[in-house]
Structure formats: C-alpha cells, structure tokens
Structure 1
C-alpha cells in the first residue's frame, strides 16, 4: 500500500433497520454520511420485523450509497476499499449489505473489509475524538449486546463482560412495549421517566457473582412485567412514568456499578460509552458524576453516531485496511458474531 496515497473508505451498515453509507478519508475526514431509517415502517408493529427490514434495505441500499458518494464528490474509482458490517444482526438485513459491498468492491477491483458491528460502535467515539489514548475501557450498551471491553490499541481488545440474557437496549424495548410506549423503546422510556419518580418501585439490580463483569437484565424486565400483570389482575392503575423512571434507574445503576468495578481492576484513564443506550442522558450524567472525581476522562458519541451508522463502519474498516486485514469474496453474514 502507498502510504502517501489518500485512503478513502466506503462504509456500509445494514445490520438491523437503518440503511447507512459513509465515505471517510484518511481515518479522520468524514466526507459524507447518509442514513435511511425504517423507524416509521416498524412502529406500527411495535418493533423491527426482520423480513420487512431486509426488503427495505434492498429498496434503499443503492440509493443510499449513491447519495454518500455524491455528497463526497467521489466515484468508485476514488475508493481504496469497501467496508461492511457482516455481523452480528438480522441475517436478512446483513446479507443485503454484504452482497452489495461484495459486488461494489469486486466491480471496482478494490479490497473488501468485513467489520464487526459491535467493534464499529466503539469506533464511533473516534469519529469525534480521534486522539483518544489507549488503553481505554469501553461500555457498549445496545439493543442486542451489553459489553465491557478493554482496548489496548487499535484492533487490540479484550471483552471482559458480556450480556448473559437480555441486553440493556433489548430490555428498554420490551418494557416500553409493555408500558404502551411503542418503538423505539429507549427514547420513549427516557421521555416518560423525566416525569416519574425513580424511587416509586424497587426493581432488582442483578450484579451476578462476585468479580463478574457480565450483565443480566432479564430478571429486571420480568419484574416490571410481573408488576404490571399483578396490578391488572387487581384492577389497579399504575403510574407509567414512575414505572419508566424506576426501571431506567435500575438499568443505569447496574451499568454504572459494573463499569466502576471494571475501572478498579483495570487502571485506564478513559471510559468510552457506545451503542444506542449511550444516547440515554441519565446514563451519561450518572457516569460523568462518578468519573469526575476519579481522574478518568469520559467520552461518548453524538446521538447520530450512537445509532447504527455507516461512518463507524468506515472508521473501523480504515484501521483494518491499514493493517492489510481484508475479507475474501466468501465473506458471509454471521448474525451471531461475537467480539
């Protein structure tokens, strides 16, 4: 590879219900970023319908990529590589992105790079904080995953905590549906919680066994559902704002306490928050308050980069490109891909 040549990466993301593409130059200069969201399509069903999501990706992927290239003022001949999410996620959605990326890279005769969606979420922090120093601890909280990850360098990381059952974002979506808030759950829970009393209901905080950095939100979700069902059987009407606030407080406390325990064991100077739940203002405020007097810097992406997006995939792809870590033409969707 010619180190004097500009490195231009097209990033493609289709793991769930956002069709997104971005063009990134030299790992720092975001030339374009397009997101086509399907939220309005899936709201009527109370959540993402996989078959509909994959069809929507098929309808929009070409247009989204064309818009990203047009906004960047570039064509395929200007690209160094195409980076694409190949897992984890919905298999049909992933296949659309992977198939499109393979076709584009092959036609342009440039490398194909497979990116782990979870890795991409952490790299979203580097879009706005390119000078982050290693080692750092990342708290990734999304719809399907809640992880604690030690990053010792680019592409050099260790997962120290994982989701054992329901992830934080998944619990938000399921509780929001039960409370009648609809999809997406996270923003609706947070909005309702502003008007509620977080101490109204004493929901459980699952810390698991001593020394574990793993997460479990299934019991918390079940406790909220049981509280609702019990009230309905008795003909009682509960305050949904109080339920939302109490539930949110339980999730935030577990995320914060697990993170603080990890910081005690792994002496890093920076905590990076990532994933859809990173947009939750209560979580950010609680972490900031705890970290202010510990001498640990705290970063998190802007809301647009907390959601699934092509920019984070382009950046993660950039570092893989610089490491000559290319995918073969046999790259396939891996819905259960782990870090």
Structure 2
C-alpha cells in the first residue's frame, strides 16, 4: 500500500472516556469522545460502571468517527487500540471491539501503550503547532500518571522520573474534594485559581530523591491546613476559595517545575513537551511558556483536545507502527499495568 494513504481507525477505552478517531497518515480526520457523567455522583471513577458505559458507547462512537471522517470502513488500513495501562474492564471493551472489527475487515491490528500515545500526540500534524525534534523530555501528567520521559525516537523512550505514590491529577482532585468542590475538581481549582493570589498560603514541598515525585504528603498538608483553619472560622473556605485554589495550584506547579529544572540539568536537553489531562491546566501551561524566557527551554504543548484521553493520540502511534509493520494478533490480552 502507498504509505501516503494510510487510514487508521483508533480506539481508546482505558478509563472512563470512550473515544474513536480516524487518521489519514499523521492528520486527524475525526476524533470523537463520549464522556461518562455517571461517575460525578460517586466522586471518582467506578470501574464496573465505566466498563458498562463503554459497552453502550463504543458502537455509536466508532460509527460517528467514520461518518465524520467521511470514509467507509473498507478504506481502513488497520485498527489501533489501547492495550494498557488502564482499568481492566474498560480496556477489555475497546480491545474486544478492535479485534472483532479487524478480523471482520481482514486488516491488521495494532496495540498501543496509552502512555506512549500521550507523548506521540505531539506528532499529530496540525497547523501552527510545532513538532518536537529528538531527543526531548516529555512530562506526562494526568489523573493516574506523573512521569518524566527521555524521548530518543518514536519508540525509544526512557522513564527517568515518576511518582512514588499519587499522581498529580489526583492531588488536584483530592484537594478540590477537601474544599467541597464536585468531581472532577481539578478544572475548578484551575478556574478559581485564576482569580486568587498564589502566594496567599504556602504548602510544604515533598523531599523526594532524584527526578521522582510524591503528592501524598502534599494532599495531607492541604487537609490539615483546611481542618485547622475551619476550626477557627467555619466560613474560611467560602471567604478564601480563590486564594486557597491559587495557592494549591502554585504548590503543585512548583513541585513539577523543580523536577523539570533538575531533568534539563541532568540530561542537557532543554526541549520539553507536556501531555496528559493535567497539561490542560492554564497555570501549568503559562509556567511552561515562562520557562522559555527564564530557563531557555523550548516548550511544546499539544492542542487542548489531544491532552486528555482521546483516540487521536492512539491513532498517531498506530500510524508510526503501521509504517514499521509492527502488528499484533487477536490473541493479544489487555494489560492493566503496562510499562513504557
């Protein structure tokens, strides 16, 4: 087949978003995401409910992706899917669907590591969006992951730092929960932080060796701080919400930037690309841009829609794997834990 005409159908179902995308080579023709609102009342993702919702969503989402891309399924070159890491039940829905469709259409099947996809999302061709050159440092920050990865090529990646306990997204969401904000609270902390003073309150920075992260102590510090202040003033949160959110956000940003500064010093690489749901945070994006002037960094931030879990990022990995003839077969099984 002419490599100029590769059509990849990609499926992402690692957590609570069902997504399908169609790529023509490295360009996205469609990227459909169905969010699951059901988890909001539980204050977090319920795995059993997530897999059931994926079963309901997958057929209409794939149908919509093909229809928006304006192509027939017979034009597809291959199907890429998320093998892991993620929730076992959710991954099974996407994987089973991908296998069945690939067998039915008699086209290759491509397995994708979700974490690798967050990094390679930077290679989706978009107008006015520069693509990083190798080597670069990728910082993947989401509800389930916090990693710094040295990226030498599309498929040569080395994790040089990661969280030893909670992920950064969890630190945002749990802090929001302590403040009585609804789930998911991270985007609300960001929204309120924009109207507050980031220096109003200070939280301790965890002491962690090397390039690894820790956020459990930070969450505990927020909890004790709020408990102590509300004992003296029951309206403390209400009266200081914007300042509290700005201070929490600044505390988290300081932890991330400290490790990035260390990583650039250790590796000598000043190109930094961020990905994952938390990279949608306006404070983090702004701090990264400031780093260009302050530290001489060259920074890459993907389009907003490619930061959270989406199938377009699975599709771009699928495209590069297709060019390498790197296929899997229908015996492939999902991996809840899947190292880079």
TM-score normalised by the chain length of structure 2: 0.93
Gapped runs of 5+ residues in structure 2? none
Structure-1 residue corresponding to 2:176: 176
SS at match of 2:66: helix
Quote the Cα distance in structure 2 between the aligned partners of 1:250 and 1:130.
29
Quote the Cα distance in structure 2 between the aligned partners of 1:162 and 1:118.
12
Quote the Cα distance in structure 1 between the aligned partners of 2:276 and 2:20.
18
- Kept in 2, the 8 Å contact 1:143–1:169? The answer is yes
Quote the Cα distance in structure 2 between the aligned partners of 1:131 and 1:175.
34
- Kept in 1, the 8 Å contact 2:122–2:131? The answer is no
Structure-1 residue corresponding to 2:222: 224
Structure-2 residue corresponding to 1:21: 20
Quote the Cα distance in structure 2 between the aligned partners of 1:100 and 1:159.
31
- Kept in 2, the 8 Å contact 1:135–1:269? The answer is no
Question: Any residues of structure 2 matched to 1:29-108 within 5 Å, and which?
Answer: 29-38=27-36, 40-108=37-105
Q: CA deviation at 1:191?
A: 1.1
Q: Structure 1, residues 226-275: CA drift from partner, whole Å, max 9, x if none?
A: 22233344554322322222111111011111111111122235211101
- Kept in 1, the 8 Å contact 2:132–2:300? The answer is no
Q: Structure 1, residues 300-339: CA drift from partner, whole Å, max 9, x if none?
A: 1122111110100000111112122212212222112221
Q: CA deviation at 1:89?
A: 1.3
Q: 1:164 to 1:4 in 2, by over 3 A?
A: closer
Quote the Cα distance in structure 2 between the aligned partners of 1:151 and 1:214.
17
Q: Structure 1, residues 108-164: CA drift from partner, whole Å, max 9, x if none?
A: 111111111111111222223474311111111111111001111111111101111
- Kept in 2, the 8 Å contact 1:12–1:20? The answer is yes
Structure-2 residue corresponding to 1:316: 317
Quote the Cα distance in structure 2 between the aligned partners of 1:104 and 1:219.
46
Quote the Cα distance in structure 1 between the aligned partners of 2:274 and 2:172.
17
Q: Structure 1, residues 49-100: CA drift from partner, whole Å, max 9, x if none?
A: 2111111110010110011111112222211111111111111111111111
Gapped runs of 5+ residues in structure 1? none
Quote the Cα distance in structure 2 between the aligned partners of 1:4 and 1:213.
39
1:306 corresponds to 2:307: yes
State the superposition RMSD in angstroms.
Answer: 1.6
- Kept in 1, the 8 Å contact 2:4–2:25? The answer is no
- Kept in 2, the 8 Å contact 1:171–1:221? The answer is yes
Quote the Cα distance in structure 2 between the aligned partners of 1:226 and 1:293.
34
SS at match of 2:339: coil
Q: 1:131 to 1:274 in 2, by over 3 A?
A: closer
Question: Any residues of structure 2 matched to 1:170-249 within 5 Å, and which?
Answer: 170-209=170-209, 212-234=210-232, 236-238=234-236, 239-249=240-250
Structure-2 residue corresponding to 1:112: 109
Structure-1 residue corresponding to 2:265: 264
> How many aligned residue pairs are there?
334
Q: 1:73 to 1:130 in 2, by over 3 A?
A: farther
